[in-house]
Amino acid sequence: MNRTATLSWNRVAIYAALIFFSLIYLAPFAVVLLNSVRDVREIVGSSAIGFPKELRLSNWSAAWNSYCINGHCAGIAPFIWNSLAITVPATLISTMLGALNGYSLALWRFKGDNFVFALVVMGIFLPEQMKLIPWATVLAELGLSNTAMGLVFIHSIQGMSFATLFCRNYYLAIPPELLKAAHIDGAGFFRIFWHIVLPLSPPILIVTVIWQFTSIWNEFLYGVTFTSGEQQPVTAALVALTSQIAQAPEFGIQSAAVVLAALPTLLVYIFGGRFFVRGLTAGAVK
């Protein structure tokens, strides 16, 4: 009985600690979310932290359609579309390249494969700042400076390292006898990949897609360095809000713009978070 009571109290303490730290972590987002439906006079006149006296949903439509950012008075919408145009193709390309790389390095062993794997994964550990000049040179040579396609190219290559790491470790668990049987039946490299490996890959591909989407959407350094004006992704465009707050403090509209910019990754987490955990767990167990 005492042991049961101790376990119950331990569980209560663990949950209390988790809830406490979760509230601390979510507090800034809660403040921004509440301010997004408050009137600017209410925020300035009372406090930046508080519940709205009256819901002001017009802040959201103004942030989406008519607020001026970077001299572009069409709201946050064009920059969100820019981010989508960058994030979606870069996520798909890097995931497919990572799956092919992981398949090659895990199931088609060759001399020096571990060295090649180490070179690919090295990209994860290199600081982003040291890549700025090489990337600037490459984009200039390709004529992709200040374009969404340039950022798609960068993130596709950058994301390949993580995707390769995830997929290679997952594919190591596939029984080699399965591939030998397919090879005996005449299946080649790509046929085995499409008809055997890829159907076994949804758990790790979901993990990779979620990871890549959130990482690329939230990336700031390349967006602010290699694009400007109307070509910028939403994370870079939001920097203009910090300078505009001092000049024209529309806190309600600006908070709504921040929430709108964060909404896609929040939706990915809400609807795909459990698949992310399951995919990682499946790979670990295998």
Are 56 and 82 contained in the same domain?
Answer: no
User: Residue 71: inside a domain, yes or no?
Assistant: no
Are 236 and 122 contained in the same domain?
Answer: yes
Asked which of 42, 65, 88 is the last residue of a domain, the reply is 65
Are 192 and 259 contained in the same domain?
Answer: yes
Are 83 and 58 contained in the same domain?
Answer: no
Are 187 and 155 contained in the same domain?
Answer: yes
DSSP 69: B
Instruction: Indicate if the pLDDT at residue 89 is higher than 90.
Output: yes
pLDDT classification of 99: cutoffs 50, 70, 90? very high
Instruction: Indicate if the pLDDT at residue 73 is higher than 70.
Output: no
pTM of the model as a whole: 0.85
Instruction: Indicate if the pLDDT at residue 133 is higher than 50.
Output: yes
CA distance 74 to 18: 41
How many domains is the chain built from? 2
Asked which of 65, 94, 118 is the last residue of a domain, the reply is 65
Helix (H, G, I), strand (E, B) or coil at 145: coil
Are 60 and 180 contained in the same domain?
Answer: no
Helix or strand (DSSP H, E) at 273: helix 251-285
Helix (H, G, I), strand (E, B) or coil at 72: strand
Asked which of 65, 92, 108 is the last residue of a domain, the reply is 65
Q: Which of 32, 27, 55 is nearest to 256 (CA)?
A: 32
User: Residue 72: inside a domain, yes or no?
Assistant: no
Are 133 and 219 contained in the same domain?
Answer: yes
User: Residue 136: inside a domain, yes or no?
Assistant: yes
pLDDT classification of 285: cutoffs 50, 70, 90? very low
Are 42 and 182 contained in the same domain?
Answer: no
Are 123 and 264 contained in the same domain?
Answer: yes
Are 181 and 86 contained in the same domain?
Answer: yes
Mean pLDDT to the nearest integer, 51-56: 78
Phi, psi of 2 (to 5 degrees): -65, -40
Q: In terms of pLDDT, which residue wins out, 227 or 73?
A: 227
Q: Which residues, 6 or more positions from 95, have their beta carbon under 8 angstroms from its beta carbon? A: 159, 163, 205, 208, 209, 212
User: Residue 274: inside a domain, yes or no?
Assistant: yes
Instruction: Indicate if the pLDDT at residue 199 is higher than 70.
Output: yes
- pLDDT in the model for residue 88: 95
Are 95 and 168 contained in the same domain?
Answer: yes
Beta bridge partners of 69: 72
CA distance 24 to 28: 8
Instruction: Indicate if the pLDDT at residue 131 is higher than 80.
Output: yes
User: Residue 108: inside a domain, yes or no?
Assistant: yes
Q: Which residues, 6 or more positions from 204, have their beta carbon under 8 angstroms from its beta carbon? A: 166, 167, 170, 279, 282, 283
Looking up residue 155, the CATH number of its domain turns out to be: 1.10.3720.10
Spell out the alpha helix ranges (H) of 36-125: 40-45, 58-65, 77-107, 113-125
User: Residue 162: inside a domain, yes or no?
Assistant: yes
Domain that holds residue 200: 77-285
CA distance 76 to 250: 14
Are 13 and 149 contained in the same domain?
Answer: no
pLDDT tens readout for residues 205-248: 998 999 999 999 999 999 999 988 888 899 888 877 666 655 55
Mean pLDDT to the nearest integer, 80-108: 93
Q: In terms of pLDDT, which residue wins out, 39 or 116?
A: 116
